[in-house]
Structure 1
Amino acid sequence: MSQEKRANKKNRRKMGRKLVTVGNRNSFVSEQFRTIRTNITFAMPDQEIKSILVTSATPGEGKSTNVANLGVVFAQEGKKVCIVDADLRKPTMHYTFRLQNIRGLSNLLTTQYDLSEVLNSTDISNLFVVTSGPIPPNPAELLSSKAMDSVIRQLINDFDMIIFDAPPLLSVTDAQILSNKCDGTLLIVNSGAVENASVLKAKMSLEASKANILGVVLNNYKIPLGEYYDQYYHQ
């Protein structure tokens, strides 16, 4: 096996381990994803939330890991869920779920395939994935197209919950475009790794696109052990 193939195989194993909601359903982290699921469900009591965009201010904040685990916990609840890798620049969802990425969203938006031809089942019951497909030269234009609107309508008809993984807000305009098309947006913030100014700028860009910001997920926050037990026993 070549060095490149070994590196790709190692990377896929590493990404696969990030599905804590599958590997350790009773862990504290898995419980936090279920809490996020509950908060999303009750975020808008007068309107059903069926499409969610997940993004971050900067790269490396854990948005894709959050997307994957949120998709799992919604599926574990019994909902029919579709995760869409809308990061048409640096996609990773196919690694997480160990899928081929020969065709996906980019093919769907250029009408090369139908949804049924790019939809992937996973090892998790009720959970499906549309990978990014080949990286196109014009991601923003594809995401802002009428074809994207049509894809979202079809997904809403076929699934109970659709979760889009989008690029970071401060890198490209893609997430702003998609946030306006979804019922709600989650902003992932990596604790201690991103500047406050960047988070505020990301929030302002979502507000400028009239996104419905459901909330912020603070990622990688380390709770002191004593504080965790105190919160658990004295709620």
Structure 2
Amino acid sequence: MRRLVRERAKIAKRVVNRSLIAYLNPSHKISEQYRTIRNNIQYAAEGAQVRTLLVTSPEEGDGKSTAAINLAVSMAQRGERVLLIDVNFRNPVLHKIFNTQISPGLSSVLSQQLAFDEAIQETEVEGMDLLTSGLSQGNSADMLDSHRMKELMEKAIQHYDRIVFDCPPVLSAPDTNALVNKCDGVVLLLNCGKTTHGKALEAKQSLSFAGANIIGAILNKKSVR
């Protein structure tokens, strides 16, 4: 039993380390790639400022949360004030990675249980704060498509240079499409060896139909071979 607990702890530590690689090991090749992606996001926007960035993927397990975290970290490392928001009410993970409580969070603010600044949590990454998902309350797609969500984003822009949203997979829930047209840019995370051409195309079409400004895609877990 103790051995099983130790093994699970090791696995959890590896997951956290991989999710925070840009912070824990900034000289690593993967960290450098995230900084390159960070810069390319601005180039892809053709001069327009990408203040609000949404990260999603076609399906679960593609690695979008890891990408969202490390992009946010790389932005903070450039001296920007960054807010990372967990919008995945159905399967939130950011509170686990940052070892904090899930609530209060985004749902607490949208349901007017708490003020925006009261729900924000500092992280160990200098310049980067976190807004967890909070506990799911009712129809999450309606919450993200609400006037309160728009107000929250406007308030966040007043305090931060960048806001990065970790969203649910676009083909799994309507939540993401309720938010995409409110963001300056959308990045689609594709898992090499897992994401099929059909799923990638379906995700792109779904985002485009919802009015997303897709500024690029990240190919995850690609072998150097």
**Same fold per superposition (TM over 0.5):** yes
1:197-233 deviations in whole A, cap 9, x for unaligned? 0110000001101110010000000113xxxxxxxxx
- Structure 2 counterparts to residues 172-191 of structure 1, below 5 A: 172-191=173-192
- State how many pairs are aligned: 224
The aligned amino acid for 2:60 is: P
Residue identity in the other structure for 1:36: I
Matches within 5 A, 1:118-133: 118-133=119-134
Matched, 1:23 2:24: yes
* Equivalent in the alignment of 2:70: 69
Q: Is the 8 A contact 1:15 1:95 kept in 2?
A: no
Q: Equivalents in 1 of 2:103, 2:214: separation in Å?
A: 33
- Tell me if structure 1 keeps the 8 A contact 2:42–2:48: no
Aligned to 2:55: 54
Shift of residue 6, structure 1, vs aligned partner: 8.1
Unmatched 5+ stretches in structure 1 = 225-235
Matched residue, 2:216 = 215
> Is 1:200 aligned to residue 175 of structure 2?
no
Shift of 1:172: 0.7
Provide Cα deviations, 1:121-150, integer angstroms capped at 9, x if missing partner.
Answer: 011100000000012231111011100000
CA-based RMSD of the aligned residues comes to 2.1
- Between stretches 159-168 and 20-29, larger displacement belongs to 20-29
Q: What do the CA deviations read for 1:54-94 (whole angstroms, capped 9, x no partner)?
A: 00001100000001111110000000000000001100011
Structure 1 contact 12–95 (Cα < 8 Å) conserved: no
What secondary structure does 1:84 align onto?
A: strand
Q: Which stretches in structure 2 are left out of the alignment for 5+ residues?
A: none
Letter of the aligned partner of 1:171 in structure 2?
A: S
- Percent of counterpart pairs with the same letter? 37
Q: SS in structure 1 opposite 2:44?
A: coil
Aligned residue for 1:187, secondary structure, equals strand
Residues 14/108 of structure 1: CA separation in 2 closer, same or farther (3 Å cut): farther
Corresponding position: 1:155 with 2:118: no
On the 8 A contact 2:57/2:64 being kept in 1, the answer is: yes
Matched, 1:114 2:154: no
TM-score (norm 2): 0.93
Distance 1:178 1:8, change over 3 A: farther
Residue 44 of structure 1 aligns with an amino acid whose one-letter code is A
Alignment match, 2:94: 93
Q: Retained in 1: the 8 A contact 2:121–2:130?
A: yes
Query: Structure 1 stretch 131-140 or stretch 77-86: which is displaced more?
Result: 131-140
Quick one: which amino acid aligns to residue 148 of structure 2? A
Q: Which residue of 2 aligns with 1:233?
A: none
Measure the CA separation in 2 of the matches of 1:43 and 1:118. 32
Letter in 1 for 2:16: G
